[in-house]
Each structure stands twice: as C-alpha cells, then as structure tokens.
Amino acid sequence: MTINYSDRIPNNVDLGSNRTLQRALEHWQPEFLKWWEELGPKDFQVADVYLRTATSVDAKGWATYGYVRMPEYRWGIFLNERDPNRRIGFGDNFGQEVWQQVPGEYRATLRRLIVTQGDTEPASVEQQRMLGHTAPSLYDLRNLFQVNVEEGRHLWAMVYLLHAYFGRDGREEAEELLERHSGDADKPRILGTFNEPIRDWLSFFMFTYFTDRDGKFQLKSLAESSFDPLARTCQFMLTEEAHHMFVGDTGINRVVRRSLEVMHELNTDDPQVIRNAGAIDLPTVQRYLNFWFTSSLDLFGSETSSNAASYFANGLKGRPDEAQYEDHIAVEQAYTLELPDGSGGTKSEQIPMRNAMNEVTRSSYVRDCEIGVKRWNRVIEKAGHSFRLALPSTRFRRSIGNWAGVPTTPEGVPMSAEQFAAHKQAWLPSESDQTFILSLMHGVHQPGKMAAWIAPPDRGINNNPVDYEYVKLH
Ligand code: BYC
C-alpha cells in the first residue's frame, strides 16, 4: 500500500477521495503546527535533524532517513494494510466480522479510549520540550527529536480516527487534544504520568523505558480491537514505538556503564565519591527507576475494573497478543488478586477474569520490564559488583487501584505511613537527588562528544558512526 506524499497530509487512506474529511484535517493541521511551535522542542525548530520518516507501511524498509527541520517533518496518516479476512478475536462477538465503522452503542466508549490514547502523545512532547538544551550528545539530541516527531505523528493517528469516524464530537475532541497541556493547573493531561515534569535525561530514559512501554502494551491491546481502523493504526504505531523503548533501554544501560567505569577507576562504590566524579551512583538510578516504574503501573488502571470488563466483552480492547490465550471469551475463568485487607495486611480475592483485564495486561508489562533490568544487572555483575537493580512490587507507591495510598516497602510489604515517610528518601528521588541530577545536565552539542555522566552508545543511527553530526545547529 503506497503512501501518498504529494498531498498536504501524507497518507495511505486515500484522503483525496473524501474532500470533507481532507478539508477538516487540513483545518486542524495549522493548529497542530502552532502547537508544535509553541509547545514542541524549544529553540531547535531551525536545526537540521537526521530523522527517519515513515514512507511505507511495509515491515521491511518502512522508513527513510535524512536531514529535516522539525516543523517540516511530514506528519501523516498511516494504517497497516487491511486484512479482508480479519475476524473479531475476543469477547462476546468472537468470530464475527470486524467493524469498518463504529457501532452506535460503542461510540462514546471508543471515542473515550481514542481520546485517552491521543492525549498522551502531545503530552509527552510537552513534558520533554526543554531537554534539547541539556542533551548529553548530538546522538541523544537526535533521538529525543525522533521520539518527539513520532509522538506528534501518533497524535495525528488518533486525530484521523476522531475526524473520520466521530463527526462533530470527534472534531471537537481533536481540538481539545491541543488545549489540554501537561502539568497545566486548569486543563491537565488525562493520565497522571503525563503531568509529571521531565527535567533531566535520567528521567527521560526512565520515561522512554517504562512509560513508552505502557504505550506498547496499550497499543497492543487496541491493535486487537474489533474496530478495524483503530487496530490497523495501532499496529503501525507499534513499529515506531520500538525505537522509543530502545532509547530508554540503552540510555539507562549507558548511565550504568559510566557509573561502573568511575567505580572501577576510583575503586569505590561510595555514592558521594561517584557523584563528585560527575557520574550517577547506582542507588540513585534505582530511585528514579522506582519513581517512573510505579507511575507507569498506574497507567493500566485499577486491578478490578468494570470498564475493562466491558471493553473486553464488547470487543473494543483485548489483551496484548490475544492470540496467545486459549480462551478468548474468558467468562468462566477467575483471577486471584492479593489486596490490602485494610488493617495492614493482605487478603486474596477471586474476581471474574474479564474484570481483571487491567491486571492481566499490567502483569505482561511487568514481565517485559524485567528484561531490561536483567540486562543492566548483567553489566553490573560482569563488572564484579554485587549491587542489583530491581523492579519494586506492583503494590509500591500506587495512586490508582486497590493499592492506591497504601504505604508499603518496595518489596510490597504494608507498613505504617510514619515508617514509609522515614524511608522515603532511600526509595524515591529526594530533592537533593534531583538537584544533583540537574547539576549534571549541560548540553554537549559537538559531534562525537559525550557528557561525563553517560557512556557512548555502541553504535550510531542507520549505520552512521557515533560521531556523525546528527543535528546541525545553526
Ligand atoms: N491517571 O477502571 P479504571 C502511550 C481513570 S501510553 C489518571 O481504573 P480503565 C505513550 C480512568 O481513565 C498508553 N486517571 O480504568 C507513552 C477512568 O476514568 P473515567 C496510553 C486514570 O478505564 C509514552 C477511571 O480512572 N494509552 O501511548 O479500565 C509517550 C477509572 O478507571 C489513570 C491508553 O491509556 C491514571 N493513571 O483503564 C507517548 C489506552 N488510570 O473513564 C505515549 C486507552 C485510570 O471513568 N486508555 N484512570 O473518567 C485505556 O485503555 C483506559 O482508559 C486506561 C484505564 C487503561 C487508562
């Protein structure tokens, strides 16, 4: 399926044949660009950035690389190819034909899901807008901008669905996606994590590892949707998403490697000595990990959710990789949850499987998060140190769901609020941690140069060397 690049809005949905839709989107386009200029990456709009742009939806060779000024990036609408034999893969309508239009009874719910997904995309660009100034290298600066333009494209993906399938309400929702802003006191973004500030690159790497990975799992769930245009859009978004998580995974890996180098050079694991040498001590990495992992756990919603049950029953949102499950109806199964008992202990409770879908997805997510942690720990082990990074329990520091507001240790053992307050500094980034991390953040903008707190990457982008001029600043 070829992409039409001669249209003002690149697309593979034959936009030209629907003049009304085309005009509506062309009306939204300048609003988007205005938003990008105002709330996109600050001060780098005229830089030439070595970016990949989607030019095909073929899994092999879907992107083209070249220098682009970000406001000239060809944001467009790309859906995976339609499979004419695709059937509903789960829920009450299992086996029936998928929908090419939105069934009236699910209109409000589907719109809400699409808006929630869409809202996160520009939110992340807003959160990251100041990071260009403090990029540890041109390689990293380029990766930041790659992530940013693609999140912009993911917003386009959702806006297309709103315009094409939800009429006037959809157009209004598309406008509001540019009116809510991350951290805004009056009109914040919908989901918690997307209102957290990202002021430093350690947080950026944690966000791209943990929060973009929530994106992966939510998109996988929506890629199962019976509403076929949503499924196809999410399938293509997942292709782009992989690089974002790579940025987080390798970013954390490089921070750890640099820390180990300094530990080796100075023959110490004293955090203060490592900090004095300009690197980030591993306990601080763990505290940032604790913060962003737990915030991202909340993005899966409550452990017990009637919303999730009806999304599943109605075929709107499945489980990630639904095909791996034997039973796609899931009415006869139960799921056992470990919940707080209200008096400092835990109790087991069985709930119907459909109500546990958020927890099922969260568990798959946690398993996926473990893979990177194991890799980082192998690096630490090889360097001969006993320190290990670890994911905290899914009960720790939760703000959504049954464990919300229940103080526990990182291992998930309930404790009193006083005990929690006494330990908080050891478990979560303190003000002095944040001040220290911010003190390391200085832009390194010469080709091949790297900030002292991070090791260079193993390789560059698209077979270019690490010292390639990934961003040409003017
Ligand atoms: N913060 O039954 P519940 C990405 C709300 S990231 C604030 O517990 P449900 C990306 C919830 O909306 C992926 N509010 O949850 C990553 C509901 O409100 P309403 C984004 C929250 O509905 C990096 C109420 O609490 N995609 O793509 O089963 C960079 C009770 O709901 C939170 C999606 O989220 C929270 N953390 O599931 C760029 C997919 N959690 O509706 C991009 C679409 C819950 O009663 N969204 N609430 O007013 C969904 O599937 C679901 O809405 C959720 C919640 C999974 C978020």
306 Cα nearest atom in ligand 1: 2
- CB contact at 8 A, 65 and 462: yes
Quote the ligand 1 centre to 245 CA distance (angstroms): 20
Contacts of 80 (CB under 8 A, 6+ apart): 57, 232, 233, 235, 236
* pLDDT computed for residue 474 by the predictor: 76
pLDDT at 226 > cutoff 90 = yes
Angle between helices 138-165 and 228-266 (to 10 degrees): 160
Quote the ligand 1 centre to 212 CA distance (angstroms): 14
Closest CA relative to residue 213, chosen from 89, 51, 369, 352: 369
pLDDT at 1 > cutoff 70 = no
Contacts of 452 (CB under 8 A, 6+ apart): 258, 278, 279, 440
Measured CA to CA, the distance from residue 157 to residue 234 in angstroms comes to 8
Q: What number is the average pLDDT over the span 296-318?
A: 98
Bridge partners of residue 68, in order along the sequence: 49
* CA nearest ligand 1 atom 28, residue: 308
Quote the ligand 1 centre to 218 CA distance (angstroms): 9
* CA nearest ligand 1 atom 2, residue: 305
Quote the ligand 1 centre to 457 CA distance (angstroms): 34
pLDDT at 388 > cutoff 80 = yes
pLDDT at 58 > cutoff 90 = no
Pocket test for ligand 1, best of 203, 247, 302 (most atoms within 8 A of CB): 302
Confidence of residue 461 (pLDDT cuts 50, 70, 90): very high
- CB contact at 8 A, 50 and 461: yes
pLDDT at 454 > cutoff 90 = yes
Render pLDDT for 417-451 as a digit per residue (tens, 0 to 9).
999 999 999 999 999 999 999 999 999 999 999 99
* CA nearest ligand 1 atom 55, residue: 300
Measured CA to CA, the distance from residue 299 to residue 193 in angstroms comes to 7
* CA nearest ligand 1 atom 54, residue: 301
Pocket test for ligand 1, best of 154, 193, 211, 307 (most atoms within 8 A of CB): 307
- By mean pLDDT, which of 54-63, 100-109, 190-199, 346-355 is the weakest? 54-63
Quote the ligand 1 centre to 187 CA distance (angstroms): 17
* pLDDT computed for residue 345 by the predictor: 92
- CB contact at 8 A, 108 and 79: no
How many other C-beta atoms are found inside a 10 Å radius of the C-beta of residue 319? 23
**Which burial class, exposed, middle or buried, applies to 342 when counting CB atoms under 10 A from its CB (0-12, 13-18, 19+)?**
exposed
* CA nearest ligand 1 atom 13, residue: 215
Pocket test for ligand 1, best of 113, 148, 190, 299 (most atoms within 8 A of CB): 299
What HEC string does 199-266 produce?
CCHHHHHHHHHHHHHHHHHHHHHHCCCCEHHHHHHHHHHHHHHHHHHHHHHHHHHHHHHHHHHHHHHH
Closest CA relative to residue 230, chosen from 328, 299, 162: 162
**Which burial class, exposed, middle or buried, applies to 13 when counting CB atoms under 10 A from its CB (0-12, 13-18, 19+)?**
buried
Q: What number is the average pLDDT over the span 113-132?
A: 98
Quote the ligand 1 centre to 116 CA distance (angstroms): 7
pLDDT at 126 > cutoff 80 = yes
* pLDDT computed for residue 57 by the predictor: 80
Summary count for the chain: helices (H), strands (E): 13, 5
* pLDDT computed for residue 60 by the predictor: 73
* pLDDT computed for residue 451 by the predictor: 98
Share of the chain above pLDDT 70, in %: 100
Render pLDDT for 236-258 as a digit per residue (tens, 0 to 9).
999 999 999 999 999 999 999 99
Single-letter code of the amino acid located at 250: T
Give the rounded distance of the alpha carbon of 449 from its chain centre: 28
- CB contact at 8 A, 43 and 130: no
Measured CA to CA, the distance from residue 16 to residue 48 in angstroms comes to 30
* pLDDT computed for residue 5 by the predictor: 77
Closest CA relative to residue 99, chosen from 111, 83, 115, 87: 87
Lateral strand order in the sheet of 48-54:
63-69, 48-54, 471-472
* CA nearest ligand 1 atom 5, residue: 301
Q: H-helix or E-strand containing 54?
A: strand 48-54
Confidence of residue 3 (pLDDT cuts 50, 70, 90): confident
Closest CA relative to residue 134, chosen from 208, 41, 201, 203: 201
What HEC string does 333-361 produce?
CEEEEEEECCCCCEEEEEEEHHHHHHHHH
Quote the ligand 1 centre to 46 CA distance (angstroms): 35
* pLDDT computed for residue 427 by the predictor: 98
Pocket test for ligand 1, best of 205, 218, 227 (most atoms within 8 A of CB): 218
Bridge partners of residue 347, in order along the sequence: 339
Measured CA to CA, the distance from residue 247 to residue 378 in angstroms comes to 19
* pLDDT computed for residue 326 by the predictor: 96
pLDDT at 76 > cutoff 80 = yes
pLDDT at 267 > cutoff 70 = yes
Q: What number is the average pLDDT over the span 35-64?
A: 91
Q: Collapse the DSSP code of 453 into the 3-class scheme (helix H, G, I; strand E, B; otherwise coil) and give the result.
A: coil
pLDDT at 411 > cutoff 70 = yes
Longest dimension (CA), the chain: 68
- By mean pLDDT, which of 40-44, 61-65, 170-174, 344-348 is the weakest? 61-65
Q: Which residues lie with the beta carbon below 6 Å from any ligand 1 atom?
A: 112-113, 116-117, 120-121, 124, 151, 191-192, 211-212, 214-215, 218, 298-302, 305, 307-308, 317, 358, 400
